[in-house]
Amino acid sequence: MKTRQYVSFDWAIKRLLRSKANFGVLEGLLSELLKENITILEVLESESNKDCKKHKQNVLDLKVKNSRDEIIIIEVQYDRDYSFFHRILWGTSRVVTEHLHEGDDYLRVHKVISVNLIYFDLGEGEDYIYHGSTSFRGIHKNDVLQLRANERRKLDKDSVKQVFPEYYLIKINRFDDLAKDTLDEWIYFLKNEEIKPEFTAQGLQEAGRVLAYTKLNKEEQIEYNNYIDHRRRRDSELRTQFSDGLEEGLEKGLEKGMEQGMEKGLEKGKRETARSMKKEGIPAEIIQKCTKLSLDEIDKL
């Protein structure tokens, strides 16, 4: 087996990257993704991102606030989830409401950015990085609604979409391992848990130091190994359930198909027999007794 160099990002984000001393790792990833220098001020705790013994049960992995007073939520998801789009909508909505206190002006609503690192194929599309934002477009003129100058000053925003949550979906497993830019270098690391010497992405070399398996103490190594074993068993169980379900479905489908085929064949045979008897001039009543077809059906042949 390949010697483990780095701990997985989903484990690190719950253990190592909450420390202010390690903010540089997340700042690097977010800066490369958002194409601006991100400075993290603090990790925010809430009911929506507390640790969970089951590891993944509709919890946020990490929630941070940056120097622009924006809240960034980060989630790493391995298991296929058909409700994932609804989950990320719920996640941003909850963050918006839990950070607006009773009596606060609506202008105090925080901008929320949802970053989702997913290891299953969500939706249908050819890319591996998707960005979603909200804008208002005219039905008749097809123009995009903009802020007036006084609104830009009051809101401290340049555009309407900056008020609303934004979403980033990074489909790790769809990445082709060809790092064409510094963001790709991060995605290569997230997929392969490997940092090539020539990589220059912001925060990535620091990630190599912080996330090194050998830097963990003995207790942390045991905890991490147990976590990985748990994830492997869970993945194996999910694959087995899927395989068993598929096999059972195929067997039932084949049985049902054979039954339907026999029924259709028998019906077709009765009609062919009735048609031949009718050509021979045999009375319809006799044909009916032989084929069990109705007189109306025989008349239409």
What backbone phi and psi angles, to 5 degrees, belong to 83?
Answer: -100, 15
pTM (2 d.p.): 0.72
183 or 4: whose pLDDT is higher?
A: 183
Which residues is 112 bridged to in the sheet? 71
Position 217 scores a pLDDT of: 86
Q: Is the pLDDT of residue 55 over 80?
A: no
Mean pLDDT across 59-75: 87
Mean pLDDT across 112-118: 95
273 or 126: whose pLDDT is higher?
A: 126
46 — pLDDT class (breaks 50, 70, 90):
low
Position 71 scores a pLDDT of: 95
Distances (CA, A) of 112 to 28, 35, 84, 105, 296: 18, 16, 17, 17, 69
Position 279 scores a pLDDT of: 78
112-118 and 71-77: which strand pairing?
parallel
239 — pLDDT class (breaks 50, 70, 90):
low
Distances (CA, A) of 226 to 135, 211, 232, 280: 45, 17, 10, 80
Residue with tokens 């830097």: 215
Position 250 scores a pLDDT of: 64
62-66 and 129-132: which strand pairing?
unpaired
pLDDT digits 0-9 by tens, 173-226: 999 999 999 999 999 999 998 899 999 999 999 999 889 888 888 888 888 888
What backbone phi and psi angles, to 5 degrees, belong to 235?
Answer: -60, -40
35 — pLDDT class (breaks 50, 70, 90):
very high
The residue extents of the domains of the chain are 9-216, 239-300
Position 52 scores a pLDDT of: 44
| 178, 184 Cβ separation under 8 angstroms | yes
Q: Residue 153's CB: how many other CB atoms inside 10 A?
A: 10
